[in-house]
Amino acid sequence: QAPWGAEPTPPTPQQLAILQHLADGFSRPQVAEQLCLSPNTMRTHCQRIHARLGVHTNTHAVAVALRAGWID
């Protein structure tokens, strides 16, 4: 997790793919299906994304990724 005011660590390529799908409006189950992930694996990825970016929701994670220019 990034210290207060510090730039967060960029997500892994898999995490970026998940964030991009979420930004495109897909639900977590839809993203899991499209990326051939089990629901449990998808949940774990989201938890790790949240921890890495220092956020608590997928919406906030997408906002951080968009602001940082990691996704479109």
Cα–Cα distance, 1 to 52 (Å, whole number): 5
Q: How many CB atoms lie within 10 A of CB 37?
A: 17
Residue 1 has pLDDT above 70, yes or no: no
Report residue 68's pLDDT band, with 50, 70 and 90 as the boundaries. Answer: very high
Cα–Cα distance, 48 to 28 (Å, whole number): 14
Q: How many CB atoms lie within 10 A of CB 59?
A: 11
| Prediction pTM value | 0.88
pLDDT in tens, 3-55: 566 677 899 999 999 999 999 999 999 999 999 999 999 999 999 999 999 99
Q: What is the pLDDT of residue 4?
A: 61
Q: How many CA atoms lie within 13 A of 21 on its CB side?
A: 18
